[in-house]
Structure 1
Amino acid sequence: MGKKHNRAALQWRCMDVHLHTPASTDFQQPEVTYLDVLQRAEARGLDIIAFTDHNTVSGYRRVLDEIHQLELLEKLNRLLPEERNRLNEYRRLFSKMLILPGFEFTATFGFHILGIFHPNTPIRDIEHLLLSLNIPSDHLDEGSQTVGATSDVLTAYRLINQAGGIVIAAHANSSNGVAMRGFSFGGQTKIAYTQDPNLHALEVTDLDQKGPRSTADFFNGTKPEYPRRMHCIQGSDSHRLTPDAARKKNLSIGDRATDVLLPELDFDDLRELFESNDFSRTRPHRVKEEPAFDFIQAAREEGANIIQDFHDSMTVRGGKLYEILSDVCAFANTNGGTLYIGMPDDPHKPVIGVPEGEQAVQALEKEINNRISPPLNCSIDLHDYKGKKLVRILIPRGDDPPYAVDDNKVYIRDEAETGLAVRDEIVNLVLRGKNQVAAAPAIPATPTEPVHPSEQVQAPASIHPAETENLDPRTGVEVLPPEERQGTQYFAMRDLRNGNTVKNVTRASARRLWHYAITRYAEIIGSLDTLSIDWRGNYGMLSSYKQNKTTFYDFIQRDGNHYRFFFGVTEDGIHGPWKVFSKED
């Protein structure tokens, strides 16, 4: 099992890990001191800060040099009263806050990356890393964004992570951000820059926004092109100590902060949070006290999908426990996910709860350890919700698939449905386990971008356009014309989420979505001339329907006298010419 925390023992800490100091050439109040920066951070209620000057760690080094100089004078008994006050103030602030060294690295094409390190990391090691990232030695103390040709984004992620740093894509959804907002090309680049395993988190400017158009929702693991759910935080990116009355968008220290739920005020605990798949331990910091964000209620309102599901009980009788194990297996074989035990997914139905919660957790740990193979590192914890005890299971995307229940039953997740994998799907899982297929689906398309606050972004002229865009829907299934053998029709089903094709599917052997798609295909294929189809050029909608909170679409596409059929497409899969049918637009 994964590392477990007693949630009652965790504390919310306020964090702003994107602060510039006078060591950055574009700092707007160069007269302020580093002690002023620390005192202002304390006054704003921050518990964790990081100095992230442009391509340098010289600001943090100057703080340490000043402290060491004062300590030397103290040892020699030569401290003046003002110097003693400064030393005591430094000591008090360092004991109260977690103050971290770091930098904001400018990668090739101007993309910005935060590297944040343990406070015990030698400054020379961080400077050596910057030199390894091709920061010129004569620019190492300059603190400038303009450093010439450096290293590419993925190399920077890898080297910072290998050096023990926390890797965060700075203001990812705006200017100089790796999500490449405003770029009409580079689809595969966007996927790589935001899904790389060495990247710990995305810093975004709209963490306070809710709904399908926020960046955090876009990177929640349900998008076909972006199967890895990303931790999203916010930071001030402050270049000044105090607010700018003339330009409110010019943020000061702590103006945009993040709360993180940690057991201790410790760098290793912070890194562990970002390496975990617990996404309930970060939230936007709000100055005014507001009702706490209820992540369980938010999950219920979102409903079951490819990365989460709900079970009202875990009894052996009725197969409830086996359904849970099947979901655990399916999530591990797909994108990872979260299970909530003790309530239905309908937020209007009563919460049942799990009796004897601690025993339930132990029982689930035992069942997962004994019945799912190979070993899977899940995290299981208890939560109080509306007066009931609930169990939450956090399941990672497994790195050694295929995973199986009772050695031979392999399950996968298909949108909100768990089903037994068929032969071709098992083959793909085996190949993934042997690193012979990409960890994320390789879809030659320019992904649909989230809507973000308006900012002007200049596209780097050196980036070449991505591959020709694939206009097929990105979720659901395409039914290919069947073959008939000995009176039985055998279909090939193309999974639009990952592009994999499963052959030899019959109506009798198909799981729910496939069975529906085959049935609808058989109804439609012989009566196209009589159907009422909503055509928009060569793209048509056959029908739409709703299950729980999810809307599904059945589409048709024509090419001369040939037709293609797509069934069970969700909003996440709609893009390009299909967007005219979306109910979200």
Structure 2
Amino acid sequence: MASKNATRMQWYRVDLHVHTPASMDYKDADAPYIDILRRAERRGVDIIAFTDHNTVGGYVAMMNEIERLQFLEQTGRAMADELRLLAEYRRLLDKVLVLPGFEFSATFGFHILGIFSPSTSIRYIEHVLLSLNVPPDVLERGDAAAGSTADVLEAYRLIAEAGGIAIAAHINSAHGVMMRGLNFGGQTRIAYTQDRYLHALELTDLNRRGRASTRRFFDGTKPEYPRRMHLIQGSDAHSLDTFLEGKNTRYGIGERVTEMLLRDRSFEAIKDLFASTDFSRTRPYNPDKKPYDYILAARDEGPSLVQSFHEGMERKGGKLNNVIADVCAFANTNGGTIYIGLSKDKNKPIEGIKDINDATRTLQKEISRVLTPSLDVDIDTQETQGKSIIRVLVPYGEDRPYAINDNQIYVRDEAETSLAVRDEIVNLVRQGLVFMRTEAPIEIDNGMPVPAEKLAEEPLPAEVAISEDEVTPPRAGAEIASVENRNDTRYYTIRDLRNGNIVKNVTRDSARRLWHYAIRQYEGNPVKEAKVQWYNNIGLWRRYQKAGQTRYDLVQRDNGTIRIYYGVTDSGMTGPWEMFMAPDDEDNNNN
């Protein structure tokens, strides 16, 4: 179990998507490479990556120029202007780290960034491009149109296995793997954004909040996207300065960057960040706004599938046990972050933790003592509003099920930590066996680990037009699948749409919160078809507020029967179901 202190690190401004004159579509084709570094310095950028289209030619050209100047200097043949240029390169490269890389055009035109350490051989990086079926002539001229190359998943794998960082470029815009209007099925999109070889996703709307934002898909709360992803933004600069191309703004170098909290200014530090479960160490750079307090931002979002809040962790009153129950639940679900020292109520003042070093040691010791099997949990201290709090980073656990005192197994459903019931424990055991039995890469399918070889056996389907009577159920909420009366007691079979589990023998007394609500509605407020707000074969029965969150009771006609989905949250309203969502004020309040 590790303990970190983020105060030892430093924020760096990073632009990992910069083109140069080596790209055919670069606007300032005659601009010297030194001007790229000058623009980066002027805009306060600490790290940039040259990511030309299907080539590493821009990085090679700059390094060749520097080597030529160094040779002239060493042989005493350099002119005064050449010595000044070499001195300027040295000064700038001491302030701006330049990483070699490329923007690869995968099958169907999807763009992927491959970024490498400066110590990596250029020939080796070019070998990666050739292995991805980039034609030699395309590699020479930096053409975005590369023809028939490799698949997206193959590109992620080859880049990662070569020691590089694989990033899906501008996923929500042109040539991005999440771009709307593409004729691909949902499983394809999930694979392209959740693959284990993928380090991060680049968004063009990273500042955006609300329902229209792309980031909401990748915070770990979406059942279909359970792997929480590191999110960045980059300039995708095709010129030194920003310019308009039709109605689109094309940013210049360093005009749209990410701040990263790193131990030093290095490729290795960036790669370690992307390998971590600390998602607070990246943020969009906003020069005109006050410093971003991610702890307050997390509390504004509130408790969820992947984060929780505790005012204290004293043994008295079971507060320490509640924290450890969350650790167990997150490990058995999608992983998550626990904040200790502040209430989930954003209107309450932050109290912080007294004797924080002692509290941290106590928590570390107690987790090690009661949680089995052992789990590598990171615990650190953070500052917010002048108060010290404890943060616990819990990874997605692979040695499932995790238990407290050997027999208390907890799981996380939305903002609720609960003891697992029998059928959930069975699923956790199955998941743990999958991790144990395969050395192949693991994908996550609706909360269940799936061996990569199984995915390879089943080609990902192309998306087809879906008629309204073929609409799939929402991705959140609960459905009562069946009811049985035994000994004057009703036993329900619940289909939990958040994780796909089917749980049998649930009674009104034993049901957890969402299931209990579904049972109460089923028994006391039966659906009246004439009062449903229908759209073809799907409809809205009830919209209500729960803990400040809008929820929906939805219905669907299915072969002569009516299926009812209780307590669906916004995260589960995908596809045609979105039409029933309440207006989202946040969409008009972008940061």
**2:201·2:232 contact (CA, 8 Å) conserved in 1?**
yes
What's 1:156 paired with? 155
1:78-105 per-position Cα deviation (integer Å, ceiling 9, x unaligned): 3222222222222222221111000000
Q: Provide the residue aligned with 2:544 in structure 1.
A: 545
Give the conservation status (yes or no) of the 8 Å contact 2:482–2:494: no
Report what 1:518 is aligned to.
519
CA deviations over 1:258-279 (Å, ceiling 9, x no partner)? 1111121111111111122222
Residue 235, structure 1, aligned to residue 250, structure 2: no
Distance 2:333 2:244 in 1: 49
Q: Indicate the residue corresponding to 2:262 in structure 1.
A: 262
Alpha-carbon deviation of 1:235?
0.9
1:465 equivalent among 458, 463, 466:
463
- Equivalent runs, 1:435-474 vs 2, <5 Å: 435=434, 439-441=444-446, 464-465=462-463, 470-474=471-475
Aligned to 1:358: 357
2:339 is the counterpart of 1:337: no
Alignment-mate amino acid for residue 249 of structure 2:
K
> 422-431 vs 312-321, which deviates more?
422-431
Q: Deviations over 1:61-120 (max 9, x none)?
A: 122222223223333233222222222222222221111000000000000000111111
State how far apart, in whole Å, the 1-side matches of 2:346 and 2:201 are: 30
- Equivalent residues in 2 for 1:36-435 (5 A)? 36-183=35-182, 185-244=184-243, 249-288=249-288, 290-435=289-434
- Bigger shift: residues 534-543 or 11-20: 534-543
| Alpha-carbon offset, residue 430 of structure 1 | 1.9
User: Per-residue deviation at 1:538?
Assistant: 4.2
Residues 524-563 of structure 1, C-alpha deviations (whole Å, 9 max, x = no match): 45xx569965555544444333222212222333447532
Partner deviation per Cα, 1:229-262 (whole Å, 9 max, x = no partner): 2221111111112333776712211121111111
- Aligned equivalents of 1:538 and 1:66: distance in 2? 66
| Counterpart contact for 2:226–2:447, Cα < 8 Å | no
Is the alpha carbon distance of 1:529 and 1:302 closer, same or farther for their aligned partners in structure 2, counting shifts above 3 Å? closer
Cα 1:147–1:556 shift into 2, 3 Å: closer
Instruction: Report if aligned partners of 2:3, 2:380 keep a CA contact under 8 Å in 1.
Output: no
Residues 525-536 of structure 1: matches in 2 within 5 Å? Answer: 533-536=532-535
| Contact 2:223-2:447 within 8 A present in 1 as well | no
Match of 1:475 in 2: 476
Contact 1:187 1:466 in 2 (8 A): no
Post-superposition Cα deviations, 1:28-50, rounded to whole Å, max 9, x if no partner, equal 11111111211221122110001
Q: Give the structure-1-normalised TM-score.
A: 0.91
Task: Give the 3-state SS of the residue equivalent to 2:364 in structure 1.
Answer: helix
Displacement of 1:195 in angstroms is: 1.1
Letter in 2 for 1:545: Y
Greater mean alpha carbon deviation, residues 17-26 or residues 248-257: 248-257
Q: Distance in 2 between matches of 1:383 and 1:298?
A: 14
- SS of 2:382's equivalent in the other structure is strand
CA offset at residue 10 of structure 1? Answer: 2.1
- State the percentage of identical aligned residues: 52
Deviations 1:140-161 (A, max 9, x none): 2221112211100001011111
Q: Deviation per CA, 1:156-177: give whole Å up to 9, x if none.
A: 0111111111111111100000
Q: 1:29 to 1:489 in 2, by over 3 A?
A: same
Moved more, 336-345 or 495-504: 495-504
Letter in 1 for 2:41: E
Distance 1:300 1:153 in 2: 36
* Partner amino acid, structure 1, of 2:462: H
Q: What CA distance in whole angstroms lies between the structure 2 residues aligned with 1:119 and 1:85? A: 24
Whether the 8 Å contact between 2:377 and 2:393 is mirrored in structure 1 is: yes
Distance 1:79 1:416 in 2: 67
Aligned to 1:498: 499
Conserved 8 A contact 1:111-1:153: yes
Shift of the alpha carbon at 1:424? 1.6
Provide the alpha-carbon RMSD of the alignment: 2.4
Aligned residues: 563
* CA distance in 1 between partners of 2:365 and 2:106 (Å): 46
The 8 Å contact of residues 188 and 466 in structure 1, kept in 2 or not, is answered as no
Whether the aligned pair in 1 keeps the contact of 2:167 and 2:199 (CA below 8 Å) is yes
SS of the equivalent of 1:256 reads coil
Q: Does the 8 Å CA contact 1:21/1:239 hold for their aligned counterparts?
A: yes
